[in-house]
């Protein structure tokens, strides 16, 4: 089973390296502390299972969070949600079942930039209208 999993991850990464279009995506995965405790699963255990990707985990006083950077290609939060996370009791869950929220920060950044451009254009129009009067 591990060999199949490793093969699938290696195949995915190799396809991603050949994909020329698109940029890498950053996905923010938020968890509920109580749910992780009930499953007896730590954020470090989850992060260790995503060693094929660049990850950063954040804990402390806030809810646990993990940022995963996916390689170029058509990968997104749906792709990441299908990954299997194994607990210490050999229970297996999809990441989307454990995660509270999964946010594509790349798409959010693009939406924010388009809103800012539209806002700046309206400000410029108002400024031009005041100067012409």
Average pLDDT in the chain: 79
Per-residue model confidence as pLDDT tens digits over 101-117: 888 888 787 888 888 88
- Measured distance CA(47)–CA(10) in Å, rounded: 18
User: By the 8 A CB rule, do 12 and 74 touch?
Assistant: no
* CATH number at 2-105: 3.30.2090
- Measured distance CA(91)–CA(104) in Å, rounded: 27
Confidence category of residue 72, pLDDT binned at 50, 70, 90:
confident
- Measured distance CA(118)–CA(115) in Å, rounded: 5
- Measured distance CA(31)–CA(57) in Å, rounded: 11
Query: Domain residues of the chain, as ranges?
Result: 2-105
């Amino acid at each position: 089973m591990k060999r199949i999993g490793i093969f699938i991850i290696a195949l995915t990464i190799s396809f991603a390296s050949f994909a020329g279009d698109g940029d890498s995506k950053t996905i923010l995965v938020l968890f509920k502390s109580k749910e992780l405790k009930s499953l007896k699963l730590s954020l470090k255990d989850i992060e260790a299972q995503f060693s094929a990707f660049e990850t950063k985990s954040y804990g402390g006083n806030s809810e646990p969070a993990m940022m995963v950077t996916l390689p170029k290609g058509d990968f997104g939060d749906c792709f990441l949600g299908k990954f299997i996370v194994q607990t210490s009791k050999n229970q297996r869950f999809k990441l989307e079942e454990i995660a509270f929220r999964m946010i594509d920060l790349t798409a959010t950044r693009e939406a924010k930039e388009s809103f800012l451009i539209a806002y700046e254009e309206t400000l410029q129009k108002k400024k031009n209208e005041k100067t012409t009067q």
